[in-house]
Structure 1
């Protein structure tokens, strides 16, 4: 009952006016068939009466009046059907849009680490399937059930006057179908829940086949047919399983409907018998037979609505399961303000982190300091934990053990919004927004007013200004090829745009993860020639494999298998002759 109430509340919140209109129209619709049925009964009675009259003028006038009444009821029925369709379709669209917005809001609340969990992906996938239409379906079940109840109450008196046992017959006849539907709902729900990951695999293959990013490799390596075959195998497996369920359900439905049909035929035979032996008039025959038919439909509609409520209640559990998720890092009750400017800097003390579903620590026992205005560099082989450490610093993850402090205050004591406002970042997997150039850069700080002065300054700082000037509409050029008129950039050009995004945020801490990996040597040199000036009064964490570019760093930390194995300036580390010196000399040989 609680889920039903919550679902109706979601529908009401999405569009109160359209919801009220939908309920009112469907309620009125439920009374019109009975009114028409009674008018037809009166017409048939008058026709039967006229057979024994010589002067049929008066009776014809009365029949004509009843026909006009019937016409008005039919016109009103058709009019309300059109209005009901408009209300239903409009409400469905509003509910879909509203539920999508709720899902998006919840998704951005969840910790980044959750996206790396298959369990979370299953919950998210099921919520995406069910959220757009289940609340509206539940409202339809309620209104349809209400219509059935109103119709049933309207004809109940007639059926009782004929024989009280007819009501029992109606309910008894509908019960087999009801039981079968409830069982079907449970079986289908369990199957869908069990097959979520399989469905996601099929969707992933579809993403690979239709996506623009994998398109080059799929064609170059001739992967298309192989991926299509895998997709077809998964879909065939799902098809066979679902067909087997439907086959079993069809057998049960036939048995249930057969039982119901036999009971209905016996009842109609009883009504005909009563008419033949003179207990009913001809109009009564029409009235009672139609009333019983209407009552049968009303009972079936009511029970179908109840089984539909049961089914939608099951599937809505997936939506509410997603909406009930909470971030593992809750906002502090009394958040502290981020110091401006920094006085002591950032300190990692014995920090460790382990990903979900992983048996090893990504970083272990890290001790690291970034003083105010200091440029710190991280180097090491792939998989050594550099990017994970950067994400911990940006508070995208929370440390499994140890503390990270800013001016002696643990990061958990700051509100995320306030802390993020003081962090500018560029990661390796930065996003290429299919927006204009100006929008792409403005994404770095949407809390600030959109001004071309700030955007152009950030573009100059990142080295993107020259590229932008050559574009057809300059800063108003649409980037990417998803939409008409878009201009595609090279990897290095996109990286400059993303770097401008990081520079736009007037942050005290800048985190750059391979910020020039896609740039050519000349562009990279331009960026790092200005880097020291750009980082004035800012603390910076720089991750790069290009060791020649980090000689400017005030301090260098060398990571290996999640631990810091060396630290110091470039000259000190070279004199030490350890891991850093080996990496630097190995790269240097490639340029000799």
Structure 2
């Protein structure tokens, strides 16, 4: 994986949205600490309720304070989610504008002959498909997601370790199969998109020919309807079969992952019930531990998924920056290009014209 493109993306995003990146970092750090706070608060509430049920004369003030804190925590969680969404939308808009200008400027500066090169045109189609902002922000969001999930995992791991050492270890074990499988399918997803672009573009172009008013007349005149229809069917079915094949493999792998997670959760549940049975755990601790095990596994799976996504995202970044760094001198030397004169003096004369196609060495 070419980490230099990832570093370039971080520098670009920082240049365009520096303050908002810091805000996103702060939001994710706070968000990473909220699960443990919620679990500890739940444990305290359940223990207080147990005490009230066993002793009718128990003071109700403490439970009311805990319920108010729980309400405030819910409001804060909702506010953080809304602020993060607004902040991400602003960053995406700024990046769409800034990178869009870079791509347009690069497209203007490149010789027109580049656009006759099918490989170049497929490359351009891959980077312009969808918004620039979302794709450039994806690695930043992925890294922040890893940081947030790591904070959650470390805090919950410490909590579970205090209950029983085996609970934390069993939760971590679920990360390894997820990381391996997600990395594999992340690579396959992008490669499928990368190599299907020519066939998909051809299918869309053929469909447009058949439905466009002007081209439809010519197709009718030359009786080419069946030819283009069969051509569209072959390209469309090829793309569909490859996509369905990959989706099928992903679904089978997801079932396997869910089975492993369920097995590990079952083992953890057995340990917790055993501790409760011998009196080493209160009702509040039992409920909070069960919630902690589930949250820890979710955070570990989130880390594994985000680590795997970095590879897939980096492949798009390679495409984007390679386009922005295209050197037109690779194909066109100074001797083969002349600037068009700013002012015409005596009109335009065309003499000694020769044409060379892309990937050919002979003039026609």
Tell whether the structures are fold-level matches, with TM greater than 0.5.
yes
| Counterpart in the other structure of 1:150 | 151
Q: In the alignment, which of 43, 46, 52 is matched to residue 44 of structure 1?
A: 46
State the SS of the aligned residue for 1:104.
helix
Aligned to 1:116: 116
Name the CA shift for 1:65/1:302 in 2 (closer, same or farther; >3 Å).
Answer: same
Match status 1:102 vs 2:123: no
For the residue of structure 1 that corresponds to 2:329, the secondary structure is coil
Partners of 2:353 and 2:88 lie apart in 1 by 61
What corresponds to 2:4 in structure 1? 2
1:386-397 correspondence runs (5 A):
none
Give 1:285 shift: 0.5
The 5 A counterparts of 1:280-295 are 280-295=281-296
Higher relative contact order (CA 8 A, sep 6+): 2
Confirm or deny: 8 A CA contact 2:209 2:215 kept in the other structure: no
* Kept in 1: contact 2:185–2:250 (CA 8 A): yes
- 2:348 — aligned with what? 541
**Residue 276 (structure 1) aligned with residue 274 (structure 2):** no
CA contact (8 A) 1:126 1:196 kept: yes
Report the Cα distance in structure 1 between the residues aligned to 2:259 and 2:136, rounded to whole angstroms. Answer: 33
Where does 1:214-229 land on structure 2 (aligned, <5 Å)?
215-219=213-217, 221-222=219-220, 227=228
The structural deviation recorded for 1:207 is 5.1
Displacement of 1:216:
2.4
Q: 1:247: Cα distance to partner? A: 1.1
CA spacing shift, 1:542–1:207, aligned 2, 3 Å: farther
What is aligned with 1:453? Answer: none
Distance change (3 Å), C-alpha of 1:76 and 1:561: closer
Shift of 1:111: 2.4
The range that moved more, 216-225 or 39-48, is: 216-225
Alignment pair present for 1:174 and 2:172: no
Normalised by the length of structure 1, the TM-score is 0.54
Q: Which residue of 1 aligns with 2:253?
A: 252
What is the distance in 2 between the residues matched to 1:61 and 1:262?
Answer: 41
Structure 1 residues 274 and 560, CA, compared in 2 at 3 Å: closer, same or farther?
Answer: closer
- Determine if contact 1:99/1:131 at 8 Å carries over to the other structure: no
RMSD (CA atoms): 2.7
Aligned counterpart, 1:238: 239
Contact 2:27 2:80 in 1 (8 A): yes
Q: What CA distance in whole angstroms lies between the structure 2 residues aligned with 1:53 and 1:104?
A: 73
- Give distance in 1, aligned partners of 2:237 and 2:4: 38
Aligned partners of 2:204 and 2:15: how far apart in 1? Answer: 31
Q: Deviations over 1:325-382 (max 9, x none)?
A: 11217xxxxxxxxxxxxxxxxxxxxxxxxxx8xxxxxxxxxxxxxxxxxxxxxxxxxx
Native 8 Å contact 2:210 2:219 kept in 1: no
Alignment of 1:129-140 (within 5 A): 129=129, 132=132, 133-140=134-141
Q: Which of 23, 26, 46 is residue 24 of structure 1 equivalent to?
A: 26
- Asked whether the 8 Å contact 1:41–1:284 carries over to 2, the reply is yes
Tell me the equivalent position of 1:472: none
Aligned length: 349
What is the CA-CA distance between 1:21 and the residue it aligns to?
A: 2.7
Larger radius of gyration: 1
Query: What SS does structure 2 have at the residue aligned with 1:249?
Result: helix
Matches of 1:104 and 1:168, distance apart in 2: 51
- Alignment CA distance shift 1:398-1:204 (3 Å): farther
Aligned-pair CA distance for 1:221:
4.2
Structure 1 pair 244–64 and aligned structure 2 pair: CA distance change class (3 A):
same
- Structure 1 partner of 2:305: 304
Relative distance call for 1:102 and 1:173 in structure 2 (3 A) is same
Q: Aligned partners of 1:284, 1:276: CA distance in 2, in Å?
A: 13
| Change over 3 Å in CA distance of 1:560–1:181 after alignment to 2 | closer
Q: For structure 1, which runs of at least 5 residues remain unmatched after alignment?
A: 330-355, 357-395, 405-410, 412-418, 424-506, 511-537, 544-556, 563-592
In 2, Cα distance between equivalents of 1:321 and 1:540: 39
Provide the rounded CA distance (Å) in 2 between the counterparts of 1:203 and 1:11. Answer: 33
Q: List per-residue Cα deviations over 1:268-327 (Å, max 9, x = no partner).
A: 121122112211011111121111111111111111111111211123221122122112
Secondary structure, aligned partner of 1:280: coil
Cα deviation, residue 220, structure 1 = 5.3
Whole-Å separation in 2 of the counterparts to 1:204 and 1:68: 60
TM-fit CA distance, 1:158: 1.2
Tell me the CA shift for residue 166 of structure 1. 2.7
For 1:100-119, what per-residue CA distance to the aligned partner results, in whole angstroms no more than 9, with x for missing partners?
22211222222222222122
Whole-angstrom CA distance in 2 between matches of 1:279 and 1:312: 47
Greater CA deviation, 135-144 or 21-30? 21-30
Separation (CA, whole Å) in 2 of partners of 1:144 and 1:224? 53
1:471-522, Cα deviation, whole Å (9 max, x unpaired): xxxxxxxxxxxxxxxxxxxxxxxxxxxxxxxxxxxx1xx3xxxxxxxxxxxx
Distance 1:207 1:398 in 2: 39
2:70 aligned residue: 70
Number of the residue aligned with 1:201: 202
From the superposition, tell whether residues 230 and 397 of structure 1 become closer, same or farther in structure 2 (CA, over 3 Å).
farther
